Amino acid sequence: MSIDLQNHHGPLIGILAGKGKNQSVIGNGPFFRELQREILKNGGISVVFTPDDIKEKTIAGVIYSPELDKWTPVTCPIPHIVFNRVPTRNLESTESFHKAFLFFQRRNIPFFNPGFLDKYSLFEWFSHDPILQPFLPDTIKITERTAFLRFLERYKTIYLKPAQGAKGVGIYKLCQQNNQTVVLFSLKDKHIFKDIQTFWKEWEQPLLEKNYIAQESVKPALIRGKRYDFRILAHFTEEGYQVTGAGIRQSGDQEITTHVLNGGCIIPYEDIQMEDHDQFFALVAERAGKILSKELGFFGEFSIDAGLSEDGKYVIYEINSKPMRFDEISIEKKRISSLVHLFIHLANRENLPSNNP
């Protein structure tokens, strides 16, 4: 099937990507190709473009042809809906991105997922919600020595996370021993400090400069002696926010993160599925989606990193506004289908979600 943009009458879906140093479009190419295949099956068409490609009445971008397995440069009308897949926080912080956001906002064009999330802002929003608050580990923003020392003294074991980090990068586990020795665990090694003052003297600058948070360490439930987390995918539907799929990620040699890129492994959710888990997933997806859309603007897709403590309590660790690919083929296939259904739905300007949780 060749693509004739001039005679195409279905909805035009814009996928906002980034621009690299050599002016080439950067983003998740395989993901964009899968979306295009499904969009074409549903009567639409997608164009990938960057914030710098927007003109007053047109955009310049590239369109993927599955038949030719080729990307073709095009100039086309303003899309009916824009899916934000700008790949990095740095690119989202540029003036051109903010101008692009305002461009579509002023034209009342749905802007699907406003941007990356800040971990501490997320904690503040959720902690004010009576339904989600009980699932949150205690968390503080690291801004000065006294409050940080008090937090470590209270919990003895805490996690240090960059508020704007992703994929488990920059996460540490900090433990205060009975002899006041402090041990810092990274993904690959550990460092021992004679006391917390020594640790703070060395780490104050990076913790403050990179906007770290400190989070209570929750003793996790184990499978075969190792911790595991839930990874839950959610989308907005005509019935509200719903769970699209769920997977299990188990830690490898280190216990800091279960990310597969850091040695974690995949366990089929069906191995431990139970009604209580399903009800928790559905509750968090519905509440989190409404709160995110209220605070930042419409969220159509996000994933949830959650877990279970050793005493059987559910924990929300993180929300991801731009989920990575799910390794479970059935979930990823359903994800593509759910996204395209939502694109077509929103392109018709119908039933945008309420901003009231």
Portion of the chain with pLDDT greater than 70, in percent: 91
Q: Average pLDDT of 10-31?
A: 88
Q: Above 60 in pLDDT, residue 125?
A: yes
Q: Average pLDDT of 324-328?
A: 90
Q: Average pLDDT of 133-144?
A: 97
The answer to whether residue 357 is domain-embedded is: no
* 53/79 same-domain check: yes
Quote the domain boundaries for residue 305.
119-135+220-347
pLDDT value for 57: 92
Q: Average pLDDT of 246-260?
A: 69
pLDDT value for 20: 81
* 274/176 same-domain check: no
Burial of 356 (0-12, 13-18, 19+ CB in 10 A): exposed
The answer to whether residue 352 is domain-embedded is: no
* 162/187 same-domain check: yes
pLDDT value for 26: 84
Q: Which of 247, 248, 255 is nearest to 226 (CA)?
A: 255
Q: Which one-letter amino acid corresponds to residue 279?
A: Q
Residue 236's pLDDT band (boundaries 50, 70, 90)?
Answer: very high
pLDDT value for 227: 86
Q: Average pLDDT of 148-155?
A: 96
The answer to whether residue 354 is domain-embedded is: no
Q: Which of 237, 299, 350, 336 is nearest to 39 (CA)?
A: 336
| Residues 280/306, Cβ–Cβ less than 8 Å | yes
Tens of pLDDT along 72-90? 999 999 999 999 999 999 9
> How wide is the angle at C-alpha 328 spanned by C-alphas 310 and 312, nearest 5°?
10
Q: Sign of the CA dihedral 301, 90, 138, 156?
A: positive
* 150/166 same-domain check: yes
Q: Average pLDDT of 279-291?
A: 98
Tens of pLDDT along 89-110? 999 999 999 999 999 999 999 9
Burial of 293 (0-12, 13-18, 19+ CB in 10 A): buried
pLDDT value for 260: 52
DSSP class per residue in 109-164: --EE------HHHHHHHHHTSTTTGGGPPPEEE--SHHHHHHHHHHHSEEEEEETT
- d(CA 121, CA 114) in angstroms, rounded, equals 14
The answer to whether residue 186 is domain-embedded is: yes
Q: How many domains does the structure of the chain reveal?
A: 3
DSSP letter, residue 65: E
Give me the chain's average pLDDT, please: 90
Q: Average pLDDT of 223-227?
A: 84
Q: Which residues contact 16 (CB under 8 A, 6 or more apart)?
A: 49, 50, 51, 82, 83, 84, 85, 86, 100
| Residues 68/2, Cβ–Cβ less than 8 Å | yes
- Residue 131: other Cβ atoms inside 10 A: 14
Structure tokens given for 243: 């769970």
Structure tokens given for 139: 């968390």
* 78/19 same-domain check: yes
Residue 2's pLDDT band (boundaries 50, 70, 90)?
Answer: very low
Q: Above 90 in pLDDT, residue 6?
A: no
* 39/62 same-domain check: yes
- d(CA 16, CA 98) in angstroms, rounded, equals 12
- d(CA 32, CA 29) in angstroms, rounded, equals 5
pLDDT value for 153: 94
Residue 191's pLDDT band (boundaries 50, 70, 90)?
Answer: very high
* 174/305 same-domain check: no
Pairing between β-strand 12-16 and β-strand 45-49 as defined by DSSP bridges: parallel
pLDDT value for 263: 54
